[in-house]
Amino acid sequence: MNTSRRKHQRSRLRTAAASAAAVALAATGLAALPSSASAAADGIVVQYRTSASGASADQSEPWLKVRNAGSTSVPLSSVKVRYYFKADSASAAYRFACSWAVKGCANITGTFGTLANPTATADRYLEIGFTPGAGSLAPGADTGDMQLRFHQASWASLIQSDDYSFGPERTTYGDWSKVTAQVNGSLVWGQAPAGNGPTDPPDPTDPPSDGARLFDDFNYSSHTDPKIGANGWSVRSNSGGPGVPGATWAPENVTFASQSGNSVMNLETSTAGTGASTKHTEILTKSMKFKNGTYASRVKFSDAPRSGPDGDRIVQTFFTINDLKAPMADDYAEYDFEYLPNGGWGEPANILYTTSWETYRPDPWEAVNAHSEVRASYAGWHDLVLTIDNNQITYYVDGQHFGTHGAAFLPERPMSINFNQWLIDLQGQPSTTPRSYDQQVDYVLHVKDQVLTPAQVNAMVGSYRSAGKTFEDTVPGS
């Protein structure tokens, strides 16, 4: 990035602080993937019990186990489990939580969706997924206890007695066909509510089979792997902002390793409390050829350093951007996911921003942008999805709507795709003890001119991985 980006990033405090507004995470309207009656005699089995058996409750508590009754190992990251329920009102929003799990709550995700064909007992579902950190299920093994729950965002009492998957008598674990399981998008267990099976009309969450796209699983050996450049990426080494003056951008701190069968990219940022000792990291596409469509990535944010004292004002990102040709130029564009685990820009603690930029002037500072934010820890793996059409920019985190920004912020020119990790300043931690921070990236996906739901993104990524395909770029140059 150039000096202008450093200045506008550092000055974002003034814009963010002036218009900060809490964002309520609402359940997204995702239509169901194809599903219907299925019983696995030799495959995945879902067991269910509930610890909240009342007809109504403050929160529903579907506790689950996933068992591998098959003869081959199954990566849990390929498994999706769905619990179907009737929303308490058309506008009701829900929140998911994991109280405890043998596999670790950090390795379990929960997102909400809307059925394509609602019934009297189901118009929503809770979809449970697993991060690569959950590992694989060997034949005969199960996940162990997953003590899950969900509730209305308002904490109003919810009615369970009319929920398709609810079993009030199920106080001990047992096989439960009213909860479905999919492996790489294919139903392998259970029966979905009537009208939502594979013999019914095509489902709008099926991923499109055509359309130009970029997919990269970051299956590289090191930052010097010639495939990185051949596949259109640049590992940054040039000086300049954003971040600490005098810092360098260190290509050698971009590394790759295998985790649970997937290649994962790691961006390491380190410092010993001086500009000269600070090393930032960034990888970006060499071409600015990405504009409308869907952008998605699975990113692991971290709240604490891998080593050394904590407290640095670090920024962990996934974003698209083009160059500012002149102050307040109206063809500038930038769309950010930015996580600040230790605060910064006037924030005292962890905060996740999504920001859509129309333009800015670095001196004197003036910015035209819109942003959404949530003040909470986002440590761990997260599915990040950004969509741009002719009307708006929409952000999702873990399948849930995070923010929408209007037509005034739509891009006029194509952009690059970037990941970076950098320090805003050295004021958050004055120690001269060396420390380092990690941000990890599992994959990146862009589908040109098509707005996908988070469920469609997951299905498309699953298809790439099932086919063993680690890279594809059919997006034409700008």
pLDDT at 91: 77
Q: Which of 405, 396, 403, 402 is nearest to 454 (CA)?
A: 396
Report the length, in residues, of the chain.
Answer: 478
pLDDT band, very low/low/confident/very high, at 63 (cuts 50, 70, 90): very high
Longest CA span, the chain: 68
- Whose tokens are 């709240």? That residue is 303
- For the stretch 262-279, pLDDT in tens is 899 999 999 999 999 999
- For the stretch 173-191, pLDDT in tens is 999 999 999 998 888 999 9
pLDDT greater than 80 at residue 201: no
Q: CB 36: neighbour CB atoms within 10 A?
A: 17
Spatial separation of the C-alpha atoms in residues 357 and 243, rounded to whole Å = 19
Q: Which of 188, 134, 185, 177 is nearest to 48 (CA)?
A: 177
**Which residue(s) pair with 367 in the sheet?**
360
Spatial separation of the C-alpha atoms in residues 88 and 312, rounded to whole Å = 44
Spatial separation of the C-alpha atoms in residues 83 and 149, rounded to whole Å = 11
- For the stretch 406-452, pLDDT in tens is 999 999 999 999 999 999 999 999 999 999 999 999 999 999 999 99
* Tokens coding 196: 């939502």
3-class DSSP assignment, residue 10: helix
DSSP letter for 185, please: T
Spatial separation of the C-alpha atoms in residues 117 and 181, rounded to whole Å = 18
Query: What's 49-60 look like in SS3?
Result: EECCCCCEECCE
Q: How far is CA 460 from CA 81, 213, 398, 435, in A?
A: 17, 11, 16, 37
- For the stretch 80-125, pLDDT in tens is 999 999 999 877 889 999 999 999 999 999 988 888 788 999 999 9
